[in-house]
Homo-oligomer: A and B are copies of this chain.
Amino acid sequence: MTKPPMPDLADFSPFRDLPPEGRRLLERGATSRHVPSTTPLLHKGQKASGAYFVLEGHLRVYALAPNGTEATLYTIAPGETCVFALNSLFNDLLYPAWVQAVEPTTLAVLPAATYRQLFAEQPLIRDFTVRTLSSLVFHLMGQLEEVHAYTLRQRLANLLLTHAASSGELRMTQQQMGFHLGTTREVVARLLGEWVDAGLIHTRRGATRLLDPAALSRLLDGSAPSAD
């Protein structure tokens, strides 16, 4: 198969709309990098060397517990940036989590100096930066609240409801769901099992189909957890 057209950083907002001198900076500084699936990109404690932008694919940012269980903090889709980079760029803080490509991913990397210059000179980049950081704060606060406020059962129901494609099917193994929620496969299987018995969902290898989304939603508030 022929290579699909190589995406370019300059095609993405906000870089697309930069004035000429901004684009010239990009062209001079940006490099591109391809990472195969499941490749770890960044370790906890490592220092990020520049601003990373996802052009194609997906990155996953996750925490890793001493006992080996993972928990997804957030994911980064094409057109978005790894805020860890921004963090390190402006703060000299070490990155507090791990990053991994979940599918073959193309990144653009801007050296810290270039990004800082863009930030100083280009209002578009400033707004983009603040908005990105700000959304992330919002997202993280939501996650943090979720962990404290909801049971695993509720969070799993929420995962199914929010991530199911329009077809009503979530294509994800139970192991992946476990990682996502910071728990183990067995626990996920147990909970899904309950719902299968109750006729709310149907499971098969690698996917879960929602049969009664309304009933799942109801699980989210009522604290009465199981069927009795």
Report A's interface with B, CB cutoff 8 A.
63-67, 69, 71, 73, 83, 86-87, 90-91, 93, 96-97, 119-120, 123, 126-127, 129-131, 133-138, 140-145, 147-150, 182, 221, 223
Contacts and interface: CB of A to CB of B under 8 A. Distances in A.
A123 B142 CA distance: 30
A143 B138 CA distance: 14
Contacts of A223: 66-67
B91 A138 contact: yes
30 contacts: A63-B145, A63-B148, A63-B149, A65-B149, A66-B149, A69-B148, A71-B144, A71-B148, A71-B149, A73-B144, A83-B134, A86-B130, A90-B134, A91-B135, A91-B138, A93-B135, A93-B138, A96-B142, A96-B145, A97-B141, A97-B145, A119-B126, A119-B130, A120-B123, A126-B126, A133-B133, A137-B137, A140-B140, A144-B147, A148-B182
Copies of this chain per assembly: 2
Nearest to A143: B144
Given A126-B126, A137-B140, A140-B141, 11 more contacts: A63-B144, A63-B148, A63-B149, A66-B149, A83-B137, A86-B130, A86-B134, A91-B134, A93-B138, A96-B138, A96-B141
**Chain A residues touching B, majority SS:** helix
Given A71-B148, A120-B123, A140-B141, A66 B221 contact: yes
A181 B149 CA distance: 12
Nearest to A70: B148
Contacts of A64: 149
Contact of A134 (B66, B69, B87, B138): B87
Instruction: Count chain B CB atoms within 10 A of each CB in A96, A120, A143, A182 and give the residue with the most.
Output: A96
A32 to B, nearest CB: 25
A110 B141 CA distance: 23
A137 B95 CA distance: 10
| 7 pairs of A and B residues whose beta carbons are closest in the complex | A65-B149, A63-B145, A133-B133, A71-B148, A140-B140, A148-B182, A96-B141
